[in-house]
Chains A and B, each alone.
Chain A
Amino acid sequence: MSNLNHLETKDINVWFGERHVLRDVSLQFQNNHVTALIGPSGCGKSTFIRTLNRMHELIPTAGLSGQVLLNGEDIYAQAVDPVNVRINIGMVFQKPNPFPTMTIRENILSGLKLSGRKIEDGDGLVETSLQRASMWNEVKDRLSEPALSLSGGQQQRLCIARSLAMDPNVLLMDEPCSALDPGSTRRIEETILELKENMTIVIVTHNMQQAQRVSDSTAFFLSENGNPGEVVEFDTTENVFKRPKDDRTNEYVNGRFG
């Protein structure tokens, strides 16, 4: 299984209406690596990460060209059902979005129900998913309480657990910690490091320390003077932060930019 998590994009271009917002993004997300996407606000990181599991096409004016290959197969190929793509490539949003009408337990199992799969061992799945999101001990006695009774940080980890219950090959996270306190942030980072044993992770973050703590590779996005966003530099995290090749990367990672 661990060799089936390879994600790659080729010449992704994105438009909203007539406006070109991403140009020729080609990245390789290696097996069981964490890749961080960094860059100033508005450069297209969220837009890009949404193209990776076909959430992008839900925006009415969206346009796209290029390929996204999961284990060599284009997820935008005509025969591919976006539903299957989203089952294999999970997503955690910036704002925690647990389903308010469901309990904690139902939230964890909601993915299986929503995608029409059988639930074999519900209790076991709930426990392992919550454990992988390192919140089992906190909530094991309140599984049938409404999900909204959790704190913001717990809700976000619940959303991570909800994605993990689907057992995805790839997990996409768009600023998962931006609304959280340092403690919750640290726990989510620990979770990410544990999860990468089994899956490929892509994370958007504005926090340079976080990118260095969790990621193996880093891609720096930039959109200058209203031009479409581009990848300026893509390398191992160490190189990007310690030995950037591009001046603009250097300025950005050292906080003298945007």
Chain B
Amino acid sequence: MTDTLAQPRPKNAAPWEKLGSRVRFASWITSLVPAAIFVAAWLGLQLDFMAALLAIFLPIQLAFGAWAGFYSYGRKGVNDGLLMVVTFFFSTFVLVLLASVIWSVISEGAAALSPHFIYQNNRYITGTTGLEIGGAGHAILGSVIITGITTVITVPLAIATAVYLTETRDGARGVVRTLLQALAGLPSVVAGLFIYSMLIVSGWSSQVGVMASLALIPLMLPTISRVAEEALRLVPSELRNGALALGAPSYKAFFMVTLPAAKSGIVTAVLLGVARIIGETAPLILTAVIANETNANPLAGGMATLPTYIYNFLYLGDATSLQRAWGAALVLLIFVGILFVGARVASATRVGSKPKRRKK
């Protein structure tokens, strides 16, 4: 055993986190006083919550923020204090908004959620049928199938587009990029109408799952290819040159070096693409109708999806139908949640995460 000079890390090994007593005092005052005044004004004067928040809390908080900055750091602290208050206020505002949306979906949807809601379909269900029977199983199946087909078709197309834009020097890239931007602004109902009028009204096909998948492609494509393009562009050119200098043909340099380096960005791109289309309603109503029966065949018969299911029951408007709509919204939310967590995990696998010791 050799002696080691290494010492265990002390508890307070972060001197930059120690705040001076002035700063601590000022930040306590600044966080407590405006909040207290706000609560007093809101409850005491019976003001509207939003009005009190914007007209009383924000100005007072700003004034105190500026004072705290000045008190702690002098003149140069004033702007810091103001900026801090503004960023905190609005980010909290958005966060609360988001949380309340999610919370309302969860609290309203939980009542409708039950095992049979996940697997039963909408047969013999009217707007007033009790929640003991019937469910969104057919819609879940439909969403998975339609979104799945769209994803399988679009991902290669979108990534190929991104590769074309980043890896080649072709003259038409500008045009393609402009078209992609235009496509990104395409209202989804137009995409649905296009498929409806060209392929369905013309008699070439009927309202089936695949038609819905086709209508969703132009919506998903620009999202994926633009994000994937950014991800590929971020890969340093030194890596690509390094691969080419080792005698790699361009396609191998791309598949073995550039693409793996951009992997997490591309996974994010696919994910955003799925998130973009999974909630689409209008094109689905036009192309796959609002079906009530379970149908796993995308080539024949109408197909329900979660958004059209929600739309249908919102439209009916009875108390139980609204509960069903909320339930389906909750299912959709859970879906997106699983998707995001899954993608995070998939793209987070790091190099050499399982070290194999070489024995000699």
Contact = CB atoms under 8 A, between A and B. Distances in A.
Interface stretch (B147-155, B240-248, B319-327): B240-248
A141 B352 contact: no
Given A83-B248, A101-B261, A115-B246, A110 B256 contact: yes
Contact of A113 (B256, B261, B356, B360): B256
A64 interface: no
A148 B351 CA distance: 10
Interface string B93-117: 0000000000000000000000000
Contact of B243 (A99, A141, A146, A147): A99
Interface in A56-92: 58, 60, 83-84, 86-87, 90-91
B185 interface: no
B247 to A, nearest CB: 4
Instruction: Find the residue from B241, B245, B261, B358 having the highest chain A CB count within 10 A.
Output: B245
Nearest to A101: B260
A115 B256 CA distance: 11
Contacts of B245: 53, 55, 86, 90-91, 93, 163
B198 to A, nearest CB: 40
A42 interface: no
B18 interface: no
Interface in A129-180: 140-148, 159, 162-163, 166
B244 A55 contact: yes
Given A100-B239, A100-B261, A110-B256, A162 B246 contact: yes
A119 to B, nearest CB: 14
A142 B352 CA distance: 10
Contacts of B263: 101
A162 B243 CA distance: 10
A114 interface: yes
Contact of A141 (B246, B248, B351, B357): B357
A103 B351 CA distance: 6
Q: How large is the interface on A (under 10, 10 to 19, 20 to 34, 35 or more residues)?
A: 35 or more
Contacts, number: 96
Contact of A58 (B241, B249, B252): B241
Q: How large is the interface on B (under 10, 10 to 19, 20 to 34, 35 or more residues)?
A: 20 to 34
A87 B244 CA distance: 9
Contact of A87 (B247, B252, B350): B247
Contacts of B169: 60
Nearest to B235: A100
A115 B247 contact: yes
Contacts of B242: 93, 97, 99, 159
B253 A144 contact: no
B352 A146 contact: yes
B238 interface: yes
B354 interface: yes
Contacts of B247: 83-84, 86-87, 111, 114-115, 166
A33 to B, nearest CB: 22
Contacts of A115: 246-248, 252
Contacts of A142: 355
Interface in B250-278: 252-253, 256-257, 260-261, 263
B236 interface: yes
A140 B360 CA distance: 10
B248 A95 contact: no
Nearest to A55: B245
Contact of B244 (A86, A100, A145, A166): A86
A148 B236 CA distance: 14
B295 to A, nearest CB: 42
Contacts of A159: 242
A31 B88 CA distance: 68
A99 B239 contact: yes
A60 B257 CA distance: 21
A97 B244 contact: no
Interface in B323-360: 350-352, 354-358, 360
Contacts of A84: 247
Nearest to A92: B245
Contacts of A58: 241, 244
Contacts of A103: 351-352
A102 interface: yes
Contact of B238 (A53, A95, A110, A141): A95
A124 interface: no
A255 interface: no
Contact of B351 (A97, A101, A111): A101
A100 B239 CA distance: 9
A116 interface: yes
Instruction: Find the residue from A114, A142, A159 having the highest chain B CB count within 10 A.
Output: A114
A93 B351 contact: no
6 contacts: A90-B246, A93-B238, A110-B257, A114-B248, A142-B355, A159-B242
Interface of A: 53, 55, 58, 60, 83-84, 86-87, 90-91, 93, 95, 97, 99-103, 110-111, 113-116, 140-148, 159, 162-163, 166
Given A115-B247, A144-B352, A146-B350, 6 more contacts: A97-B239, A101-B260, A102-B351, A114-B253, A116-B249, A145-B352
